Amino acid sequence: MGMDDHSHEVGVRVEGTVQPAAGVTDGSPLFPLCACGWTGPDVVRGPWTPELDEACYEVWAREHWERLVGPDPATVLEERATEHGRRWFIGEQTVQAGQALDLRLPAGRWLHGHLVLVEVRDERPWTAPHLGIALGGVWESTDCTDYSLSAVVGIPPPAAVRVCPDPGGFPTSLVVHD
């Protein structure tokens, strides 16, 4: 089966068969559908609308298409050699430690944080990208700002990320020893 055999559509189950949902006006469950025969989970009930079509497209792209072709290269964080040494890039854009990023989670939502580069010092030292995220709590409603709760999670390759216009102030590097 070639890549031409994959195209997005919104489907509905009618009397045990899967059909395009373009004419559906009742509250039937709608779901993403591909020309190859793949069907996704029910996304929502209701008449077909352009917004429902977009929601189904997002599920189709994330759960079916990207698994076939991989993520868009313009959203992958990777380290490359440059004339100035090793640098991190998202697509063609250079990113630096401390820069605000969003990491796409499996359900299609975005987790906001800042790029933290963790130096791993073992036989062959290397740098691992992580996302530093602020954790909320009751302390947020007080005047105490001396101790914000935070966590650092790894960014697994080839995770989808995007740059955010957030100046933020998160630690830019950590060192991990073997």
Predicted TM-score of the model (pTM): 0.56
- Looking at the chain, the whole-number percentage of residues with pLDDT higher than 90 is 6
Residue 166 has pLDDT above 60, yes or no: no
- Rounded to whole angstroms, the Cα distance separating 96 from 117 reads 9
Query: Tens of pLDDT along 67-94?
Result: 777 777 788 888 888 898 889 999 899 9
Query: Whole-angstrom Cα distance, residue 154 to residue 118?
Result: 9
Beta bridge partners of 32: 10
- What is the b/e burial string over 70-94, where b = at least 16 CB atoms within 10 angstroms of the residue's CB? ebeeebbbeeeeeeeeeebebeeee
- 8 A C-beta contact, residue 128 and residue 175: no
Q: Give the model confidence (pLDDT) of 114-154 as tens digits.
A: 899 988 877 777 788 999 887 766 655 565 554 466 788 88
Residue range 11-38: mean pLDDT, rounded:
79
3-state secondary structure of 62: helix
